[in-house]
Structure 1
């Protein structure tokens, strides 16, 4: 089952007015086919009945996975850290121990699903991704590395992998790492992002957030060194 609405769409190809079925909220536990349709992008497909023009619709979608205890809200181009939506919060106020996230892009949306379905902490994943991106940048001659996604996780081989997009041409570069780095990141998160973990609303956990946590960690270590020097 999912929540749907019918929206009027003006075709960019021929200008004719038609209607499209828009999913506002989906629950993969109730509809076994919906997850594949989301990840394939099929759920966002539009085809004009008049001229056959096809396009991808860009609209907010709430993915509600009760089996894996997470909710991811895709809101295109959202730039807020926390979503303040009283109606939405009241609707799910009886739920406990649910990871609730907002994401601005479809790629980030898919990554969050992969992270939570794998049983990982997305906060620790973001910090690990940031740390490894800095290693990748140095390895490639200090090339710009901004965008990246978790693309592999294997507990048996004790590895996880990230696909980064590097340089002006955004060339893909895959870098694997031992899970010990993720474990260290999780330790940092537990100590320096405990307030974020207690937030009840939908929050955005991304590179900018990870950079802030890393700053807190480095500042703490610096102050510890200063304190020890003063004690000697």
Structure 2
């Protein structure tokens, strides 16, 4: 079940103390409304009732979808992951993410029925193309959706607030699955960070076969 906690916080702008509702865990099956607020990026919005100061709150919590069989440990800012999987979620896919954008991406990937490790390999290839196309050294890509046989990603370029969208054929995803099969890749135990770093390591291992 979702676990709700009420804490008192002080507005950093006017100093007004007030109650704030936060969650140490969210169960998507029992509380689909909270899941939708996560996808809408509004669940952690906070506004001071006195001065109207706005902030997006960030704190550690667990997100679980029992029906889809996955659990995500959110540790904002890479503050460390001390969560230990219980016997009840032993068979679940377990992931660790650093922020709400990464959590939203995991939800979209798993709900669409895709393997997030293979998706990271697709992103690795796509980001290489984007860096060359836009002549930039760093880009951030987030899975968006699959439509008409193509996998779409939101691409954030340096010094831009709004994403540009790029798509790649699902064949690239299928090729990524083949890479994982060639390596007999299996998830390590515990909460795993499946990200760009892991994708680069997998590609390196594959090239050394």
Aligned to 1:135: 129
Change (3 A) 1:143 1:56: closer
For structure 1, list consecutive stretches of 5 or more residues without a partner in the other structure: 221-232
Work out whether residues 131 and 139 of structure 2, in 8 Å CA contact, stay in contact via their aligned partners in 1.
no
CA–CA distance in structure 2, aligned partners of residues 37 and 66 of structure 1: 18
Aligned to 1:178: 169
Aligned to 2:201: 212
Work out whether residues 117 and 199 of structure 2, in 8 Å CA contact, stay in contact via their aligned partners in 1.
yes
Aligned to 1:225: none
TM-score (norm 2): 0.89
TM-score (norm 1): 0.81
Partner SS for 1:107: helix
Any residues of structure 2 matched to 1:38-117 within 5 Å, and which?
Answer: 38-78=38-78, 83-85=81-83, 88-89=84-85, 92-117=86-111
Any residues of structure 2 matched to 1:163-202 within 5 Å, and which?
Answer: 163-169=154-160, 172-192=163-183, 194-195=185-186, 197=187, 199-202=188-191
Partner SS for 1:203: coil
Distance apart, 1:170 and its partner CA: 6.6
CA–CA distance in structure 2, aligned partners of residues 42 and 125 of structure 1: 26
Larger radius of gyration: 1
Distance apart, 1:24 and its partner CA: 1.0
CA–CA distance in structure 1, aligned partners of residues 191 and 205 of structure 2: 22
CA–CA distance in structure 2, aligned partners of residues 128 and 164 of structure 1: 13
Partner SS for 1:194: coil
Distance apart, 1:38 and its partner CA: 1.7
Deviates more, 1:211-220 or 1:164-173: 164-173
Q: CA RMSD of the aligned region, Å?
A: 2.1
Which structure features the higher share of helix residues?
Answer: 1
Change (3 A) 1:43 1:173: closer
Distance apart, 1:111 and its partner CA: 0.5
For structure 2, list consecutive stretches of 5 or more residues without a partner in the other structure: none
CA–CA distance in structure 2, aligned partners of residues 168 and 15 of structure 1: 32
Q: How many residues align?
A: 209
CA–CA distance in structure 2, aligned partners of residues 50 and 64 of structure 1: 34
